[in-house]
Homo-oligomer: A and B are copies of this chain.
Amino acid sequence: MRWTVRSQPLKNACDIWYGELSEQLGYVLKRAQLKVFENFLRCMASLQLTPAQFSVLLLVEKNPGRNQTEIASTLGILRPNFVAMLDNLESRDLCARIRSTNDRRSHILVLTDKGKAVLARAKKLVATKHEARLNDLLGQANREALIGMLAKIANEF
C-alpha cells in the first residue's frame, strides 16, 4: 500500500504553458482523481484504508452474503486480483469469507463486528474531512452537479 502520493500542479512554478492541455477532459480528470485519492488516503491514514478497500467494505455491508465473484465484478475488480485484497481485509479481521452451504464452491462475504465499526468510523471521516472539503471548494449545488455528471460519464460515455 502506498501512503505517499505524488500530485503535480496544473499551475507550475516555471513559465511553461499548458495550452490546450488545461481543456483536455482526460487530463483534468486524471489530475483531479489523483488529488482526490491523495486527500482520501490522508483522511483515512488513521484507519489505513485505501479507496479500493473502502469501496469493498461499503459494498459488502450493503450486500451481505454475496460471494467474491459478485462483489469483485461489481467493483470492476478481476477475481484473481480480489484474492489478495480479501486476504488483507480478512487478516485485519475486517471481513470474513464463509463457505456457502448452498454451493460449496462459493465464499460468502460478510463484515466482522470490527469491520462494521471501522467502516462506520471511515464513513464519518470521509463525510467530515473528505467530502466536506469538496463542499467548501465547490458549494453543495456544484458538488451534486459534479457527481451527477461524473456518474453519467461513467455510465454512458
Contacts and interface: CB of A to CB of B under 8 A. Distances in A.
Interface size classification for chain A: 35 or more
Contacts of A29: 29, 32-33, 36, 150
Contacts of A18: 59, 62, 74
Contacts of A152: 137-138
Given A74-B16, A153-B35, A134 B27 contact: no
Contact of A19 (B62, B126, B150): B62
Q: Would you call the interface of chain A mostly helix, strand, loop, or mixed?
A: helix
Interface stretch (A5-13, A88-96, A110-118): A5-13
Given A35-B153, A73-B8, A19 B134 contact: no
Interface of A: 6-12, 14, 16-37, 39-40, 51, 54-55, 58-59, 61-63, 66, 70-71, 73-76, 78, 123, 126, 130-131, 133-134, 137-138, 142, 145-147, 149-157
Given A18-B74, A26-B36, 12 more contacts: A10-B151, A11-B155, A16-B71, A19-B61, A21-B59, A24-B58, A26-B40, A31-B76, A36-B157, A137-B157, A138-B153, A142-B145
